[in-house]
């Protein structure tokens, strides 16, 4: 049978991301793997690819080097069971003086301990992933706005925006402010658990970490419908993407950052207005936020989460056109639309 269509797999990895986007044209599949979850999920990703008969990935994209997106890719890339095409990831050492960055982080440990730890871990993950690609004979390309990754268009970040985010990490005052913002956010989580989130405020109130805003946002059009992969992008990055491209009235989109309240606003959701929205989440009060899910449902979206239905959740599969049948898959249920609690 000659296949012509588009399919999206979102793996169930808790609060971690891994997508396989596949475009079929006249029976030929082009596959893009977007992120690979935490390191502990690498075997799950590899088992999924084997089960689906995937031994070649045309493109691999690391949206940003937080461990829940990039760490699992290291083992996937290193696996001799997978042949690789082109690699895409940002290379921070190409855009900032690493010695200045190291000095700033070392001298900010006392005032920004948590932020410094996150940044150091991300740099280590990025370096290890880069080495894994090079060891397989693949030199990564940096994904910036306007570039094409097979059938996907990079909608954000621009190189200028990415570099401005990196510069923040060499600014002692900004590092301290990031630490304060994180502490404030942690306190708000505590209050929400006590008083319920309705007493704390709406969506998008707290700033998004610069590393999350550097996430590669990817879009495509298939069968006349628009699709958007957002990773952990926040309000600033999503706004820049929609100003550069027409991302209104989407057929499908990923809810950013596992359904966090910080990453979207009601205005953005009303603009995107997707028919279908997917979220990768563990099912806590924080991920996904019920307020976020309800905001998407209020614009007519059908929302699916990897943690739902309870108790174990499942991988999610969205497809249009003529694609290979999956007799081993059954219908799933929209979030909050079953009797499970």
Residue 331 lies in a domain: no
Residue 251 lies in a domain: yes
Range of the domain at 62: 4-322
Asked if pLDDT for residue 76 goes beyond 70, the answer is yes
Residue 278 lies in a domain: yes
Stretch 8-12: mean pLDDT, rounded?
98
Asked if pLDDT for residue 239 goes beyond 70, the answer is yes
Residue 338 lies in a domain: no
Instruction: Specify the higher pLDDT residue, 284 or 43.
Output: 43
User: How many other CB atoms are found less than 10 A from the CB of residue 41?
Assistant: 24
Residue 49 lies in a domain: yes
Peptide bond just before 338 cis, omega within 30 deg: no
Number of domain units in the chain? 1
- 17-20-22 Cα angle (round to 5): 155
Q: In this structure, are strands 83-88 and 148-149 parallel, antiparallel, or unpaired?
A: unpaired
Provide the angle, in degrees to the nearest 10, between the axes of the packed helices 67-78 and 113-135. Answer: 20
Residue 259: which region, alpha, beta or left (left: phi > 0; alpha: psi -120 to 50)? left
Residue 340 lies in a domain: no
The position carrying tokens 């249920």 is 333
Q: Quick one: DSSP state of residue 286? A: S
Edge-to-edge strand ranges of the sheet holding 19-25: 83-88, 56-61, 28-34, 19-25, 4-10, 316-322
**Rounded distance, CA 226 to CA 174, Å?**
37
Q: pLDDT above 70 covers what percent of the chain? A: 92
Report the run of H or E that residue 60 belongs to, with start and end: strand 56-61
The position carrying tokens 């003086």 is 97
Stretch 21-30: mean pLDDT, rounded?
98
Residue 25 lies in a domain: yes
Mean pLDDT value across the chain: 91
Q: In this structure, are strands 56-61 and 83-88 parallel, antiparallel, or unpaired?
A: parallel
Query: Any alpha helices (H) in the chain, and if so which ranges?
Result: 42-51, 67-78, 98-107, 113-135, 159-168, 172-195, 210-213, 235-244, 266-272, 290-298
Distances (CA, A) of 159 to 207, 321, 326: 21, 35, 40
**Rounded distance, CA 338 to CA 311, Å?**
12
Q: Which of 32-46, 102-116, 327-341 has the lowest mean pLDDT?
A: 327-341
Q: Quick one: DSSP state of residue 216? A: P
Q: Which of 43-52, 75-84, 110-119 has the lowest mean pLDDT?
A: 110-119
Non-local CB neighbours of 163 within 8 Å, separated by 6+ positions: 95, 96
Task: Please report, for the domain that includes residue 87, its CATH number.
Answer: 3.60.15.10
The winner for highest mean pLDDT among 156-165, 181-190, 278-287 is: 156-165
Q: In this structure, are strands 225-229 and 252-254 parallel, antiparallel, or unpaired?
A: parallel
Residue 328 lies in a domain: no
């Amino acid at each position: 049978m000659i296949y012509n269509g588009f399919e999206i797999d979102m793996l169930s990895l808790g609060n971690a991301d891994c997508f396989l986007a596949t475009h079929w044209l006249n029976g030929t599949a082009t596959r893009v793997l977007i992120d690979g979850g935490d390191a502990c999920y690498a075997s799950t990703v590899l088992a999924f690819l084997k089960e689906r008969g995937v031994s070649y990935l045309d493109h691999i994209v690391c949206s940003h080097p937080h461990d829940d997106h990039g760490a699992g890719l290291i083992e996937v890339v290193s696996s001799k069971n997978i042949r690789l095409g082109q690699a895409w990831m940002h290379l921070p050492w190409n855009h900032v003086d690493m010695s200045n960055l190291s000095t700033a982080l070392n001298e900010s440990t006392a005032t920004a301990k948590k932020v410094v730890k996150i940044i150091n871990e991300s740099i280590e993950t990025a370096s290890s992933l880069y080495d894994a690609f090079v060891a397989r004979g693949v030199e990564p390309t940096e994904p910036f706005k306007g570039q094409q990754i097979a059938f996907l268009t990079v909608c954000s970040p621009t190189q200028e925006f990415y570099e401005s985010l990196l510069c923040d990490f060499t600014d002692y005052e900004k590092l301290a402010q990031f630490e304060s913002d994180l502490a404030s956010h942690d306190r708000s989580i505590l209050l929400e658990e006590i008083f319920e989130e309705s007493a704390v405020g709406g969506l998008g109130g707290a700033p998004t970490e610069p590393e999350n805003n550097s996430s590669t946002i990817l879009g495509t059009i298939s069968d006349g419908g628009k699709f958007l992969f957002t990773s952990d992008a926040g309000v600033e990055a999503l706004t820049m993407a929609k100003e550069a491209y027409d991302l209104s009235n989407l057929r499908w989109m990923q809810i950013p950052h596992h359904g966090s309240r910080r990453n979207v606003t009601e205005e953005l959701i009303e603009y995107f207005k997707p028919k279908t929205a997917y979220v990768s989440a563990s099912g806590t009060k924080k991920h996904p936020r019920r307020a976020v899910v309800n905001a998407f449902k209020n614009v007519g979206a059908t929302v699916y989460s990897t943690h739902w239905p309870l108790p174990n959740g499942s991988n999610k599969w969205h497809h249009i056109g003529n694609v290979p049948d999956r007799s081993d898959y059954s219908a799933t249920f929209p979030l909050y639309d079953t009797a499970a609690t």
